[in-house]
Amino acid sequence: MTEIEPLRIGVCGVGTVGLATINILQNQSSLVAARCGREVRVTHVGARRDHPDHNYGDAKVSRDVMDVARDPDVDVVVELIGGTTVAHEVMKIAIEHGKHVVTANKALIAEHGNQLIALAEASGVQLCFEAAVAGGIPVIKSVREALAGNAVSEVAGIINGTANFILTEMSNKGRAFEEVLLEAQALGYAEADPTFDVDGTDAAHKLVILASLAFGAPLSIDAPAKQGIQALTPEDLDYAKTLGYRVKHLGIARRAGGRIEMRVHPTLIPEDKQLAGIDGVLNAIMVKADAVGELLLVGPGAGGSATASSVCADIIDIARDHGVTGYPLGIPAGDLTPLPVIPWEEISSEWYLRLRVTDRPGVMSDITQKLASRGISIESLVQKASKEGDTDVPIVILIHAVPASLMNDAMKAVVALDEVQSDVALIRVESFD
């Protein structure tokens, strides 16, 4: 039997995911070789500083990651630097030098993926990014390959592990936002700039990639409407619970006629829905498709080892020279068809509205009148007990489906009432029926 040459891997960036990738390829080398029919060898590591505690085996180490991207003795460049500047350059150079590229960089794919994918396709190399969405969950392959016979109508789910970890700890243990965020950083879940995790940017990047795969449209970075979790209070998480809901930070991409909804925001979900029970760093992505129906992919959405598992899957696909379609977004870049995106204001949903009002006779009727006069129908209204010493009382209202434009207009009118404070929470509710 002819011996196939080893596949030579250059790893750029040795943070949590980079190091975990090298460790898997070293520790599981026999298993990987058996599955690929050839050895997969890390031959070059690009690390901008020294890490005396890291073991890169026999790999050459360069301070300049561009040396890895240009190295003639590297077949696959694994970009795990993050960010959209140096990482972008590394990927371009690697592709131009005829190398396959594997990355976990969702920001880069969401922002510059159209050009990079076109370049990779024209150069006849693979560009793989399984690890860019939902860490260890094989969602890219599932949508692109396993569901290739389906028309997908919706992808929706929890796609940021840090945000889910924070919400779970706040809701279940009453812990403070900042304290849990620090823990998520220490555990290697959070982005280098954790603002991206909590303001919805990271989830929006992942949604852009999922929507493109699901609907055969080009990557559209400006498409998602975006709200983060920073404004959520333990009080609102608690009220939602007492009403039979959980608050999750969701990314939703849904076909509606010839257009799509693309949105990332905190959402109340009925507690009996599977998504409501996905806690901690777990991610979960629900896919609705015509042939298969509905499925839910659940798993660790962040963390070095789980994300490296996806990086290695891409490397192994390349080593086997099968398993990927050859088209990173499922169809050739030139055949992707843009889809109009429905503006946030037009998207209809049920709503959770929490107000704080002066406890005076007639205030409830003033509020309900402002809603009713706009045709907004109340599903339930609960007055909560005020905290000791407070003159104001919280009121929680669940509202039947209306578009955001109407809801915002009503909310302005409600807050303009003398008895209503400006501290308001307005959160979409999704029943997924």
Give the range of 75-83, 122-130, 183-191, 385-393 binding ligand HSE by CB under 6 A. Answer: 183-191
Helix (H) or strand (E) holding 397: strand 392-403
Asked whether position 189 contacts ligand HSE by CB under 6 A, the answer is yes
Exposure string for 311-349, b = 16+ CB within 10 A, e = fewer: bbbbbbbbbeeeebeebbbbeebeebeebebbebeebbb
Asked whether position 107 contacts ligand HSE by CB under 6 A, the answer is no
Give the range of 75-83, 189-197, 247-255, 312-320 binding ligand HSE by CB under 6 A. Answer: 189-197
Asked whether position 13 contacts ligand HSE by CB under 6 A, the answer is no
Instruction: Determine which residue in the list 302, 308, 312, 410 makes contact with ligand HSE, applying CB under 6 A.
Output: 302
Asked whether position 301 contacts ligand HSE by CB under 6 A, the answer is yes
| 8 Å CB contact between 250 and 265 | yes
Structure tokens, 212: 């493109």
Separation of alpha carbons 310 and 306, rounded Å = 7
317-318-321 Cα angle (round to 5): 85
Pairing outcome for strands 60-62 and 425-429: unpaired
Asked whether position 136 contacts ligand HSE by CB under 6 A, the answer is no
Query: Smallest distance from the beta carbon of 415 to ligand HSE, in angstroms?
Result: 33
Walk across the sheet containing 40-46 and list its strands.
Answer: 60-62, 40-46, 7-12, 76-79, 100-103, 127-128
Q: x/- contact string, 353-382, with ligand HSE (CB under 6 A)?
A: ------------------------------
Separation of alpha carbons 179 and 181, rounded Å = 5
Q: Which is nearer to ligand HSE, 106 or 356 (CB)?
A: 106
83 φ, ψ to 5°? Answer: 75, 180
Separation of alpha carbons 55 and 47, rounded Å = 12
Write the CA distances from 48 to 11, 43, 61, 68, integer angstroms.
12, 17, 10, 12
For ligand HSE (CB under 6 A), the number of binding residues is 11
Asked whether position 212 contacts ligand HSE by CB under 6 A, the answer is no
Asked whether position 157 contacts ligand HSE by CB under 6 A, the answer is no
Query: Smallest distance from the beta carbon of 340 to ligand HSE, in angstroms?
Result: 28
Asked whether position 79 contacts ligand HSE by CB under 6 A, the answer is no
Query: Smallest distance from the beta carbon of 42 to ligand HSE, in angstroms?
Result: 22
Instruction: Determine which residue in the list 113, 135, 157, 328 makes contact with ligand HSE, applying CB under 6 A.
Output: 135
Sequence letter at residue 171: S
363 φ, ψ to 5°? Answer: -65, -40
Instruction: Determine which residue in the list 18, 46, 157, 161 makes contact with ligand HSE, applying CB under 6 A.
Output: 161
Asked whether position 121 contacts ligand HSE by CB under 6 A, the answer is no
Query: Smallest distance from the beta carbon of 17 to ligand HSE, in angstroms?
Result: 9
Sequence letter at residue 372: A
In the residue annotation, 206 being an active-site residue is answered as: yes
Query: Smallest distance from the beta carbon of 162 to ligand HSE, in angstroms?
Result: 3
Q: Which is nearer to ligand HSE, 224 or 301 (CB)?
A: 301
Asked whether position 202 contacts ligand HSE by CB under 6 A, the answer is yes
Query: Smallest distance from the beta carbon of 280 to ligand HSE, in angstroms?
Result: 11
Give the range of 18-26, 119-127, 160-168, 253-261 binding ligand HSE by CB under 6 A. Answer: 160-168
DSSP string, 168-226: HHHHHH---HHHHHHHHHHTT-S-SSTHHHHSSHHHHHHHHHHHHHHHT----TT--EE
Structure tokens, 236: 């609102």
Asked whether position 200 contacts ligand HSE by CB under 6 A, the answer is no
Asked whether position 190 contacts ligand HSE by CB under 6 A, the answer is yes
Helix (H) or strand (E) holding 378: strand 378-383
Asked whether position 105 contacts ligand HSE by CB under 6 A, the answer is no
Sign of CA dihedral 96, 97, 102, 105: negative
Q: Which is nearer to ligand HSE, 80 or 371 (CB)?
A: 80
Q: Which is nearer to ligand HSE, 188 or 216 (CB)?
A: 188
Asked whether position 197 contacts ligand HSE by CB under 6 A, the answer is yes
Asked whether position 160 contacts ligand HSE by CB under 6 A, the answer is yes
Q: Which is nearer to ligand HSE, 302 or 319 (CB)?
A: 302
Structure tokens, 217: 């449209």
Q: Which residue in the list 141, 206, 248, 370 is annotated as catalytic?
A: 206
Separation of alpha carbons 91 and 269, rounded Å = 39
Binding site for ligand HSE (CB under 6 A): 135, 160-162, 189-191, 197, 202, 301-302
* Residues with catalytic roles: 206
